[in-house]
Amino acid sequence: MADTLLDDVGDLLREAAGQVVVPLFRKLDDADVSEKAPGEVVTVADRRAEELISAGLRRLRPGSVVVGEEGVADDPGLLRHLRDGGDVWLVDPVDGTANFAAGRRPFALMVALLTDGRPTAGWILDPLAETLAAGWADEGALLNGQPVDAADAVPSLGDLRGVAMTRFLPPEARDRVRDGGRRLGELLPGQHCAGREYLDILTGEQQFALFWRTLPWDHAPGTLLVRAAGGVARRFDGVDYHPADEGRGLLVAVNEQVWTEVHDALLGV
């Protein structure tokens, strides 16, 4: 019998979006939003969606472990499971929470599956755009059910378009990235939603994305999907990204050539 997990998790994310997240968009009261860390907010939608998604994932894979963003906020020790054997889910119930809390789009719901410590599948849903990306690491990525190859037909260096999230970069690196951006076609400031940045790479809206903060639930789904579509996701020093590795700095690109060109333009000494 064919494995229906891609569809099952996609349906679960749509259920969480339809029942919890979207109905609360632009309907939150002050009591529905709180600060979980300085400068970081959480909403009732984040918590309810994580509960619904987590319960559904455990039903799909009995015995699996869920490592959710809000669960880790309460118990950072959950991160130890990212190298465990068996099935481990990473869940970002509302990626782009600051946007969501302010009544802005985009925001997304994201899940990644790690098996024996290896990222094996990923999902990103932008519910307002009705865009779902899903895929297995070794079998390619799908965008609304259609195969996508992000590595094809990319522009020349002077026409490359992508995002650089410079807010948290060290000052010297921030200046270097901004200066190097003049060599590219367009350097965008970012949408404050990592999931949407990854979707825009998969759709061809942009060819790269540079991040400094690399929380696992923000990047495990997207890096898997971009790689499955022929792309590259590496730390600034060229080491392949893995969600369990501590560190900062991540450059994602549609293919090897673009990764190298953008790395040289934005990060080269």
What are the tens digits of pLDDT across the range 43-68? 999 999 999 999 999 999 999 999 99
Say which range, 29-38, 42-51, 59-68, 182-191, has the weakest mean pLDDT.
29-38
**Lowest-pLDDT range of 71-75, 94-98, 114-118, 166-170:** 166-170
Residues in the chain: 269
| pLDDT at position 152 | 78
Whether the bond into 106 is cis, omega within 30 of 0: yes
Report whether pLDDT(2) > 70: no
What confidence score (pLDDT) does residue 153 get?
A: 67
What is the percent of the chain where pLDDT is above 90?
Answer: 88
Helix residue spans in 90-249 (DSSP H): 97-101, 171-180, 194-203, 216-228
Give the type of residue at 242: H
For residue 221, what pLDDT is reported? Answer: 98
pLDDT score for 155: 85
| Per-residue pLDDT, 90 | 98
Mean pLDDT along residues 76-81: 95
Which token pair is 26?
């632009």
Dihedral pair phi/psi, residue 75, rounded to 5°: -145, 85
Cα 179 to the chain's mean position, in Å? 26
Is the peptide bond prior to 76 cis by the omega test (within 30 degrees of 0)? no
Amino acid at 8: D
- Please check whether residue 57 is in contact with residue 12, taking contact to mean a CB–CB distance below 8 angstroms: yes
Residue 1 pLDDT > 90: no
State the average pLDDT over residues 82-87: 94
Tokens 């400031």 -> residue: 189
Q: What is the mean pLDDT of residues 246-264?
A: 94
Distance set, CA 185 to CA 159, 180, 188, 208, 265 (Å): 4, 11, 10, 12, 11
Say which residue the tokens 């599956």 belong to: 113
Work out the pLDDT band at 3, boundaries 50, 70, 90. confident
Q: Is the pLDDT of residue 240 over 90?
A: yes
Residue 230 is encoded by which pair of tokens? 């022929």
Say how far apart CA 207 and CA 22 lie, in whole Å.
29
Distance CA(159)–CA(87), nearest Å, equals 41
What whole-number distance in Å separates Cα of residue 233 and Cα of residue 256?
9
118, containing H or E segment? strand 118-126
What is the C-alpha separation between 38 and 139, in angstroms, rounded?
40
Alpha carbons 222 and 134: distance in angstroms, whole number: 9
Q: What is the DSSP letter of 158?
A: G
Cis preceding linkage at 93, omega within 30: no
**Does residue 234 register a pLDDT over 50?**
yes
In a 3-state reduction of DSSP, which class is residue 106? coil
Residue among 27, 99, 13 nearest 57 (CA): 13
Q: Where are the alpha helices (DSSP H) in the chain?
A: 5-16, 22-24, 44-60, 69-74, 97-101, 171-180, 194-203, 216-228, 256-267
In this prediction, residues 106-117 reach a mean pLDDT of 98
Tokens, residue 77: 């020790």
Kindly report the pTM of this predicted structure.
Answer: 0.96
Token code pair at residue 34? 């709180």
Share of the chain above pLDDT 70, in %: 99
Give residue-wise pLDDT tens across range 120-159.
Answer: 999 999 999 999 999 999 999 999 999 998 887 678 889 9
Q: Region 80-104: what's the mean pLDDT?
A: 96
Q: What is the mean predicted confidence (pLDDT) over 22-47?
A: 93
